[in-house]
Structure 1
Amino acid sequence: ATRPGGYGVRIQRGRRSGRRYGGGLTVKTWDHPQWGQFRYSGGAWEGSVSAPGFDAFAHDTGYRNVDMAAGEYELGFEADGESDLPSEAAMAVAAGVIANPAALVSRITAALWDDFNGRGPDSGMWWHGDLDTVREGIEPAPEGPDDLPQLMRLNRVVILKTIEEYRKPVARLDFGAAFEEEHGVSILTDGQAILGAGNEIEVSPYASP
């Protein structure tokens, strides 16, 4: 089948660990002309993209994509099933994130630093206005937003179909972080503005003033 706009979808016979399962595992794939092949798995289309600007987030968590090639990051699109392909709006959000890493690094760290200092929108997280706790156990302690990239690492980008009151696609960037090792940090963005902060378990758009 071919999606309008030229994005191909196909069924292929896949393998897992070099072995066939039940005569061969059926894997559904979706091909994007710039980003390559995505596979459907567990409610999302999953692939990887090149976005070397995010390498500025250099914290070594020891987990996830630490061993991926430099500049390569997981990209997923939330889906309700194998027939639910990413919308044009969802792909536009992803394109904004991929094309804009350097600017997003600056905006993410500025938003978090303001949050730590109790300025700007309140994320509702424990760290809002609690810079002293953020700094606990970190040497050298961060003194400004420019110090945060060394304390964070981008694990993946997930394009959500919708979230709470934000009724359109939005990107969730999931990070490992030295100041939140248990749950990590997640940032919501439309590819330009920072829309919310939290973690993978609990993240929502900033409340309206």
Structure 2
Amino acid sequence: MKIVQRHPWDISPTEAIAIQQQLRGEVEREDRLGPVRHVAGVDVGFEEGGGITRAAVAVLAFPTLELVEHAIFRIPTRFPYVPGLLSFREVPAVIGALERLTVIPDLLLCDGQGIAHPRRFGIASHLGLLSGIPSIGVAKTRLIGEQVEPPDRRGAFVPLRYHGETIGAILRSRPGVKPLYISIGHRISLATALDFVMACVTRYRLPETTRWAHRLASGPAVE
């Protein structure tokens, strides 16, 4: 697949915030996805003391969750670490990995936030908008919003709220583990996002999409 670049990447943090403000209005928060036969996990790691960004995309058959393809892409890290602007540090490498795929996923599960973000435009929304692929933010930690513990049972969740607005859900993927923070990325509703995340969870806290992508992005060097 070929992804159209909507904006430059060699920019300042101030310019990056302006881009988020400009593009966030294009994020679609309702279901606009067709049949889902392949789901993909997206994660990013760093090599050489942070000097190299290493992105991984793992494509799994759905609903069997068997790995069918993966891609890894490395580029020099050019954007500084700034909370709330991580997509400008990571997405260029993710785009490179996505463009290497021969099996195009129907849904992206991103390790990070979607609209559960100060400007409602985290990495899952950014990547979904650029690629045109429906996307979900599956974060291990909370960026914004009120922390409320969901019941301690598989699939239980409570709304993630920020200043009275529901920006996601706090999901207990399995009993006895820390919750996940699920949010709309692009072209999907929160209810549908929760269903797909749980359909990708087996016996671990993280969905299989995330587990595969993390292993590829941060584990021993592979191609």
Give the TM-score normalised by structure 1.
Answer: 0.24
Q: Looking at both structures, which has the greater relative contact order when contacts are Cα pairs under 8 Å and sequence separation is at least 6?
A: 2
The structure with more radius of gyration:
1
TM-score by length of 2: 0.23
